[in-house]
Structure 1
Amino acid sequence: MAAVSKLLLLLLCLCTYHSLTAYAGDDPNRYTIGSINTEAICSESKATPSTTSAGATLALHHRHGPCSLDPSKETLTTEEILHSDQLRARNIHRKLSADTSSTAADTDAEKLEATVPTTLGTELQTLQYLINVSIGTPAVAQTVMIDTGSDISWVHCKPCSPCHNQMDSIFDPSQSTTYSPISCSSTACVQLGNDSSAGCSSSKQCQYVVNYLDGSNTTGTYSSDTLTLGPNVVNGFQFGCSRVVASDSDDMIAGLIGLGGGAQSLVSQTAATFGPSFSYCLPAPQAPSGFLTLGVSTTSNSNFTTTKMFRNSEIPTFYFVPLRGIRVGGTPVDVSPSVFAARSVVDSGTIITRLPPTAYSAMSSAFRAGMQDYRRAEPLAILDTCYDFSNLTTVRVPAVELVFDGGAVINLDYDGIMVFDCLAFAPNEDDSWPGLIGNVQQRTFEVLYDVGRSTMGFRAGAC
């Protein structure tokens, strides 16, 4: 049965993505559409983390990849996935906006909400990458999503009625000898702030809430317990013990680990132990695994192409970089540098990269000019530059490079350029909005968040 499950997952991946596994001849922009040996892929990981010092490294998987930790199938259509991705993009833009009044963005978000089921997990469907950690003493294994756009980590907890249908045992805090609910008067509870605080329970225990734009939320008791990351143990880790259950969701995931820049995130809580840096490599959907590393050695930065990283003290969750241009086929797209004045958020949970509309228009025009040999397909939700690759054995796409301040240039491979047979970029609604660099463009790179040095790095071919 295990082999059958793996085959079904593989077929899902192959139906969703073209598996372009090798260059054709000497042309670095031509890719061969090939079959995949799932058994070989899952036994021979190509992930190569950079050198670490006193750090913790965990295997990381695409949630519907051939070696996924999650046996459930994708329950959303491609269009619903892209709508969910748009919800996430809207949510990030709304958090970054100083204007919290009703806007055109809010109106459009309401339209999107009407097309996507409002269950816990709808907006979270864009969180495609999983790790395995353990909570409590004795340790209880939990398969969780990672998210650089979240600070608060949480897992489903007992008592629950009905209980969440997940692959791991639901964490029961009453069975852990190291579990402790956080009191309402503690600094940790006060740091939740108005947006994440859900008040106090009758027993003066701190209650948290995380709201998602689709109307769902996770809420429960803010707590502390032992977190086990491979051979590493983190004592007193603060997380949400969630009592909310999405009973009509097929999502088998136990919870979420926040990698944002806020005080509640795993990165902030372990900075004193591992250091103020982390990195990950997000594998392509058909690839075996990547990794998440806490505590990347700063001496290994020479292996990365680096640029400046910025933070917003009022909204510390997000990590910004200065994207300054795009090259298609080796030629810079013809837009004024001022179009890229707003910094871009690097986000592991957003799928499709969002660009200023002026920049996107110039980029897509240049890309289409380089794809004239291929038949166009109908637009797919937010993706408007799509192609019909049926009956083809090789595909040649123009090179796409992202150019950052300081001369850093990131050369994307096929899996960073195309998704669902479409150009994996979309426009923001306004040039003034911050761009979003999604996980499609981050795939196969080790992305380094050197918080201590305010630097972001990219190392190609890491997984």
Structure 2
Amino acid sequence: MISAKLPLIFALLSSATLISVAPSVRAARLPSSVLVRGAGEFLEHIGKEIANQLSGSRDYPNEGDQSNSTRRGLSSTPGGVQEKHVEPHVFLGIGTPAMNLTLVFDTTSDLLWTQCQPCLSCVAQAGDMYDPNKTETYANLTSSSYNYTYSKQSFTSGYFATETFALGNVTVANITFGCGTRNQGYYDNVAGVFGVGRGGRGGVSLLNQLGIDRFSYCFSSSGAPGSSAVFLGGSPELATNATTTPAASTPMVADPVLKSGYFVKLVGVTVGATLVDVAGASSAEGGGRALVIDSTSPVTVLDEATYGPVRRALVAQLAPLKEANANASAGVGLDLCFELAAGGATPTPPNVTMTLHFDGGAADLVLPPASYLAKDSAGGLICLTMTPSSSNGVPVLGSWALLDTLVLYDLAKNVVSFQPLDCAAFLAATG
């Protein structure tokens, strides 16, 4: 298993939230690497939430200039992580004295921002909105305004400021963040976004400000308090002993448009014993399809040429599950659903694994049925958490496929690693 030798100094903030700190690996701003934990409540009725997300889904627009005026990007109780609805949430403190914030944890954007008083146009959020007049450590960068677009329906605009942030029991001063005074979007009772994208914003990028090039997270499917975690800076080492499933490590690939996204190249999919080729994967130029890892999307989105054969192989091999009609599937915003048994009982799907083959040799991520099927009790359905992309859409590796997986981003080595892990058991053993 992953090393359980992280020396932890813990601060118990509430029954649902535990923050721990381990020694630093390398960090210019963080005096120590930070482990953030909390409740892990992934949706039971995925249909409604996915439908809500897809109706206002991100279109991954072009990133604009990184100056004072405009930058287009993508696109969430203190100190933890909680998968509430479809986005994982992190909890932290801002200001002196600290005010508690709940933010979306987003791997596809690099801006840290929160709604600010006085707000000209804001969305509903839990708890008090950040008020610069109630803190001793706020400083307004008056010459720096911003506009940040996540999709046609979601954006934030305001001005940059600096403030002291409490990340776990580590306090970091003079962090530049966005003070959002006009905000609209998919945010569900949260104050803003905690972007950990790879640094398209240069000096304003949170990772650049913290001086870290390594972070990881493990989101549990158990729903138990304290069962999920985000590690900033020093991360758990990937397990190498013979009793643990080996990690799948694959190079990050650059995207000329979405510079803050983490892309990996999919070169094949195996459903059961059926191999589905990905277009161009065997070409001399090194083909395959680049997928962006999006922590805020539960759904994995594949290009049509790959998705079609995957869908057909699943329908054939998941018998005796009965495929629901197209209208029922469309009603939950997904493409393929199966009917639950009478009374809403969940049938046991045949143990058909789906293996995602990434570039890098033995870079295989093996998904059991629980990692690609989700139950919609209200609709009497069990659905595939994958959809086909539009002709100009961006393929996505969604968070449902990565539940109970340690996802490690190593920017220095330019690789992403995936390792199956019982997140709840690991965190219980280490803390």
Question: Normalising to structure 2: TM-score of the pair?
Answer: 0.73
Describe the superposition over 1:359-393 as per-residue Cα deviations: whole angstroms up to 9, x where unpaired. Answer: 11111111111122112112323522211123445
Determine which of 345, 351, 358 is the counterpart of 1:404.
Answer: 358
SS of the residue 1:251 aligns to = coil
Question: Would you say the 8 A contact 1:279–1:294 is kept in 2?
Answer: yes
Q: Distance in 2 between matches of 1:444 and 1:328?
A: 20
- CA distance in 2: counterparts of 1:320 and 1:146, whole angstroms: 17
Say which of 149, 157, 171 aligns to 1:233.
171
1-structure distance, mates of 2:251, 2:119: 45
Shift of 1:452: 0.9
Q: Do structure 1's residue 211 and structure 2's residue 130 form an aligned pair? A: no
Query: Counterpart in 2 of 1:446?
Result: 406
Is 1:423 paired with 2:366?
no
Matches within 5 A, 1:152-301: 152-160=111-119, 165-184=124-143, 206-244=144-182, 251-262=188-199, 263=202, 264-271=204-211, 275-284=212-221, 286-288=223-225, 289-297=227-235, 300=238
> How far apart in 2 are the matches of 1:452 and 1:446?
18
**Distance in 2 between the 1:308 and 1:369 partners?**
33
**Residue 266 of structure 2 corresponds to which residue in structure 1?**
323
**Preserved CA contact (<8 Å) 1:63 1:128:** no
Q: CA deviation at 1:245?
A: 5.8
Secondary structure, counterpart of 2:233 in structure 1: strand
SS at match of 2:50: helix
1:416 maps to a residue whose letter is S
Q: Distance in 2 between matches of 1:60 and 1:353?
A: 25
- Pair 1:354 & 2:309 matched: no
- Matched to 2:369, the amino acid is Y
Asked if 2 retains the 8 angstrom alpha-carbon contact of 1:226 and 1:237, the reply is yes
Matched-pair contact (CA < 8 Å) for 2:33–2:234: yes
User: How far apart are residue 129 of structure 1 and its match?
Assistant: 0.7
Shift of 1:429: 2.5
Residue 3 of structure 2 corresponds to none
| Cα deviation digits, residues 288-326 of structure 1 (max 9, x gap) | 431111113586475632111123365321111111111
Match of 2:417 in 1: 457
Structure 1, unmatched stretches of 5+, are: 1-41, 67-73, 98-124, 185-205
* Contact 2:268 2:277 survives alignment (8 Å): no
The answer as to 2:318 corresponding to 1:371 is yes
Question: In structure 1, what residue type is equivalent to 2:258?
Answer: I
What SS is found at the alignment partner of 2:249? strand
Task: Work out the percentage of aligned pairs sharing the same amino acid.
Answer: 27
One-letter amino acid of the counterpart of residue 377, structure 1: A
Partner deviation per Cα, 1:239-289 (whole Å, 9 max, x = no partner) = 11122366x999321221011112333222212xxx301111123374543
1:55 paired with 2:33, answer: yes
**Counterpart among 388, 395, 402 of residue 435 in structure 1:** 395
Q: Structure 1 residues 170, 63: CA separation in 2 closer, same or farther (over 3 Å shift)?
A: farther
Query: Which residue in the other structure is 1:13 paired with?
Result: none
Asked if 2 retains the 8 angstrom alpha-carbon contact of 1:56 and 1:294, the reply is yes
What is the CA–CA distance in structure 2 between the aligned matches of 1:175 and 1:243, rounded to whole Å?
17
Label 1:426 to 1:240 Cα distance change in 2 as closer, same or farther (>3 A). Answer: same
CA RMSD of aligned residues (A): 3.6
Contact 2:24/2:33, CA 8 A, preserved across alignment:
yes
Q: Is this contact kept in 2: 1:49–1:293, CA < 8 A?
A: no
Q: Distance in 2 between matches of 1:332 and 1:227?
A: 48
Q: CA deviation at 1:165?
A: 4.2
Which of 319, 334, 339 aligns to 1:383? It is 334
Task: Please list the CA deviations of residues 34-82 of structure 1 after superposition, one character each: whole Å capped at 9, or x if unmatched.
Answer: xxxxxxxx9899x99999743101015456669xxxxxxx9xx935733
What is the alpha-carbon distance in structure 2 between the residues aligned to residue 228 and residue 309 of structure 1?
30
> CA 1:332 to 1:86, structure 2 compared with 1: closer, same or farther past 3 Å?
farther
Indicate conservation of the 8 Å contact 2:315/2:323, yes or no.
no
Contact 1:157 1:172 in 2 (8 A): yes
What code does the residue aligned with 1:95 have?
A: N
Q: How many residues align?
A: 358
2: CA distance, partners of 1:230 / 1:180 = 22
C-alpha contact (below 8 Å) 2:299/2:386 kept by paired residues: yes
Is the 1:323–1:402 contact (alpha carbons within 8 Å) kept by the matching residues of 2? Answer: yes
